[in-house]
Amino acid sequence: MIEWQRQAFKDMAVADLYQVLYHRQQVFVLEQNCLYPDIDNYDQDAHHVTAWVVKDGKRELAACLRVIAPGVKYTEMSLGRVLSTQAARGTGIGRQLLAQGIAYAEELYPGHACRIGAQQYLEQFYGSFGFKTVSEPYDEDGIMHVEMVR
């Protein structure tokens, strides 16, 4: 069973936040061999979407992302730190997560465009949700990215 949560940073349980930060480090630092800080001082003012696998009374993070208000990182609102845990990959959780994130972002900031800095290999995935590429590819921390807007 998947349990979805949408919440502001200040409302996150410490144990939940710990799992989010742990998995972000696993994916963005270790798996992607990107030796740059994941914690960037945007989380505290962001809203977070998390998906939890609940089994035998235990909750394990399956996927997460953050929603940043317009004018904070970009002129538009933005989604970022999008990840599926290794255990959850291949289950469709990524598509569900992005749909949840877009819906939550639109509830929080109606009428605003949404910008993402997408890893270039995921351009088609984000495009399937209506994001359009608006930049040339660029290197961010050793990984090629493109800016996309919806």
Position 77 confidence tier, pLDDT thresholds 50, 70, 90 = very high
Task: Please state, in angstroms and rounded to a whole number, the distance separating the CA atoms of residues 103 and 118.
Answer: 18
Query: What is the tally of structural domains in the chain?
Result: 1
Position 63 confidence tier, pLDDT thresholds 50, 70, 90 = very high
Q: What pLDDT does residue 95 have?
A: 98
Position 37 confidence tier, pLDDT thresholds 50, 70, 90 = confident
Q: Which residue has the tokens 């061999």?
A: 33
Give the domain extent around 79. 2-149
Whose CA is closest to 61, among 36, 9, 30, 26? Answer: 26
pLDDT mean across residues, the chain: 97
Task: Please state, in angstroms and rounded to a whole number, the distance separating the CA atoms of residues 122 and 146.
Answer: 9
8 A C-beta contact, residue 91 and residue 51? no
Count Cβ atoms within 10 A of the Cβ of residue 126 and give its class: 0-12 exposed, 13-18 middle, 19 or more buried: buried
Position 36 confidence tier, pLDDT thresholds 50, 70, 90 = confident
DSSP letter (8 states) at residue 79: E
Could you tell me the CATH number of the domain that includes residue 126? Answer: 3.40.630.30
